[in-house]
Structures are given as structure tokens and as C-alpha cells.
Amino acid sequence: MWEFTASHLSPNFQMYALEQRGHGDSSKPDGGYTGEEYSEDLWAFMEAQGIAQAILVGHSLGGGEWLRYSLGPTPILLKR
């Protein structure tokens, strides 16, 4: 879904397109599908990659995930 957008943004930004747990080719465990757990997955990915600041974009469930993540215990929303 994000290929078109990423192809236009990638010359100027480092892009990541994550498959949420249970979607696409990701693992499909019996549990772990709450918004909080998706947010924890995003947090773990960003921490593992050493990403301290990011512009997060999401659609549908992914939009809710980045919003929950951004407003979590360590908010990362950037101010102008």
C-alpha cells in the first residue's frame, strides 16, 4: 500500500514500512493484537534502530497506533 508514497519520499527521507503483527508476512501469534501491544512493537523497532525522532504516518489501524505511540509515556511529538 505504501510503495507509491515511499518511492516519492525516499530520496529525501529514511523510510520504513512496518507490517503489524498478524498482517502481511509477519508472524501470526494467538494473542497480542491490542493497540498497546502494537504500540510496544513500534517502540521496540524504533529503539532497536536507534530512531530518536520520526515523522510517523499511518492509515486506519496504523494511524491509531502511531497516535497512541506519540502520546505514550515518552511523547515524541515534534513541535514547530
47 within a domain of the structure (yes/no) = no
pTM greater than 0.75 (yes/no): no
Each residue's pLDDT expressed in tens, for the chain with a length of 80 residues: 678 888 888 788 888 888 777 777 777 877 777 777 877 888 888 889 998 888 877 777 666 676 776 666 655 554 44
14 within a domain of the structure (yes/no) = no
Q: Structural domain of residue 69, as residue ranges?
A: 53-80
59 within a domain of the structure (yes/no) = yes
7 within a domain of the structure (yes/no) = no
78 within a domain of the structure (yes/no) = yes
Please, which contacts does 37-43 make with residues 24 or more away whose CB atoms are closer than 8 Å?
38/65, 38/68, 39/65, 39/68, 39/69, 39/72, 42/18, 42/66, 42/69, 43/69, 43/72
Domains of the chain: total: 1
**What pLDDT is attached to residue 71?**
67
**What pLDDT is attached to residue 80?**
43
43 within a domain of the structure (yes/no) = no
